[in-house]
Structure 1
């Protein structure tokens, strides 16, 4: 539902900006006006980063997020397989995925939340002093497919 509202807000802002070139007195103004570009940039930067993580999990573990580092810490049973981090394969779970290096420092980790989750057991987020931890725990026998979409606001 939040995603739907965010998309609608973006469409309203974008539509308003495209029609904003018409002034109240009927005289058109330049569509390249810097006000519109600034408003559009502000609206776009207000959107949180949606980060999707998915994979096959068996047992439990956590993913630790700080501004500079993301690492998976395995707790029990089998390590995860076929893990994707923001659409890219994440094979070395003890190393920070490449996409995180691009935007980790620009996000407000203290306000992250789970926007969507799918799996047969627990997916939970806990804030920490340095960022947050994402727990994925698969207790039933065998492994299961999990996916989670995190919403992380941009820093101001």
Structure 2
């Protein structure tokens, strides 16, 4: 199996960015008023939909001549009941979080390299935090446990703000 080739810009970002922090910026976790997961007979007919969006990246000046790169990533899961194909999903519960992956900049880097890194690498740093957050929120809301793989990423839609 051929190994995926890393572009020059992505390699520049890998060489220039060092993970400094990963943290939760905002969160939402709720069940709809008409849905009680402890007494719901229909939990098995609910399907889980997932969301993963890299929202934006930003370069922050810090004291002296240092810089940080912050990459904002939004992740979510929602439990929906089956609907006809042309109907909006009936959302029974959702858990969402916006995380920030923060990197120290060790060498000059182009914005294009940061953008490529944001889309292709930053989620690897956030994913363990999302897995833990989702698992703990499922337990607190008494939702069925969702076991996420160690890493699972789909192709990113056109980013907003990158």
Same fold (TM over 0.5): no
Larger radius of gyration: 1
Bigger relative contact order, structure 1 or 2, given CA contacts below 8 A and separation 6+? Answer: 2
Q: Calculate the TM-score normalised by the size of structure 2.
A: 0.26
Q: Calculate the TM-score normalised by the size of structure 1.
A: 0.27
